Amino acid sequence: MTVVDAHAHVIVPGLGADVRWDDRGQVVELGGKAIRAAVREFVELEKILEEQDRAGVDKVVLCPWVNLVGRETARQNEALAAMVGARVAALGTVDLSRPDELVELMRDGRLSGVEVTASVDGDYLGHDRFADFWRVAEETRAFVFVHPTTRGFGIRALDDYYLWNTAGNPLETTITAAHLVMAGVLERHPGLRILLAHAGGAILALRGRLAHSHTFQPDARSRLTESPVDSIGRFYLDTVAHDETLLRAAIDFAGADHVLLGSDYPFDMGLERPAEPVRALGLDPADEELVLGGNALRLLNQDGAA
């Protein structure tokens, strides 16, 4: 069994982020702001793989730090592609207004897809401005990882108690997932391979409300024919739930074939040994193998299937 961490970040040097270690740990500075939330190696591939060894991970899917998504896409993608090897797959970054970048990335073949932010300049991912991107993503069979921007809201209360991360991040993922569903994107493009960070945020908890609105509210029915629950079921979810009941519920709803192991490496809100919560569930061995790595290998086109 190959254990694959499908949610892990890396910083490509020279893109404006300064990374250093001091006596308190790792510091990442960008735009004059310093963060200390990245508690494991963020830059050097050899050290990242040493961390993955300690975590019990055989293969890692690296993607950009979300703050650098969309920055110097060609240069960043080349650097990410250079990291790809027997133990490393990688997702790149593109300008969502230029679907040709995704075509070129997928044609090159070294990167398996892209990471995208949950919102872009205030627009969520079901917006019509992204229609061509989603069409191309389906056509190219790109693996698209949706990650919150980390500061998606101007809500003052989220500045308290680390709520910008614990509540704000999954809330932004939830909103963009609901937006994609109700805009009919997943219904129009059933072949999309979209992975939602942090077990989909709260999208599963809201499926009943979305489905109820769809039975009577014209605005909720304007772009979507199928039940919202059917569209939600097309998403893939990672395992970064931090709760056994929630993780089991995600697998029960989505199916073991739609849940991927993730750690959110190298952050403090990540899972240091991501396979352990999955193994603790006592899943059927075939289902456990899918979650721990089989699904990721399939979506990366590395499962040996024709």
Q: What is the pLDDT of residues 1-42, one digit of tens each?
A: 899 999 999 999 999 999 999 999 999 999 999 999 999 999
- Is residue 305 a part of any domain in this protein? no
Residue 248 pLDDT? 98
For the chain, the helix, strand and coil percentages under 3-state DSSP, each to the nearest 5:
40, 20, 40
> What is the residue-averaged pLDDT of the chain?
96
Q: What is the pLDDT of residues 50-70, one digit of tens each?
A: 999 999 999 999 999 999 999
Cβ–Cβ < 8 Å for 115, 69: yes
pLDDT of residue 281: 98
Model pLDDT, residue 306? 39
> Residue 205: CB partners within 8 Å, gap ≥ 6?
none
Distance between CA 90 and CA 235 in Å, rounded? 20
Report the C-alpha gap between 194 and 266 in whole angstroms.
22
- Residue span of the structural domain in which 127 resides: 4-299
pLDDT band at 301 (very low <50, low <70, confident <90, very high): confident
Q: Is the pLDDT confidence value at 150 over 90?
A: no
Give the model's pLDDT for residue 46: 98
CATH number of the domain residue 25 falls in: 3.20.20.140
d(CA 208, CA 206): 5
Residue 152 confidence (pLDDT) above 90 = no
Percent of the chain with pLDDT over 70: 99
User: In this structure, is residue 134 part of a structural domain?
Assistant: yes
Residue 256 lies in a domain: yes
Mean pLDDT of 67-83: 97
- 202 occurs within a structural domain: yes
Q: Is residue 304 part of a domain?
A: no
Phi/psi-derived region of residue 155, left when phi > 0, alpha when psi is between -120 and 50, beta in every other case: beta
- The pLDDT, as a whole number, for residue 53 is 97
Q: Is residue 306 part of a domain?
A: no
The structural domain count of the chain equals: 1
Q: Specify the pLDDT at position 303.
A: 66
Tokens encoding 253: 């709803």
> Is residue 172 one of the residues assigned to a domain?
yes
- What value does the mean pLDDT take over residues 58-85? 97
For residue 305, pLDDT over 70 is answered with no
Residue 156 lies in a domain: yes
pLDDT at residue 265 tops 80: yes
| For residue 205, pLDDT beyond 60 | yes
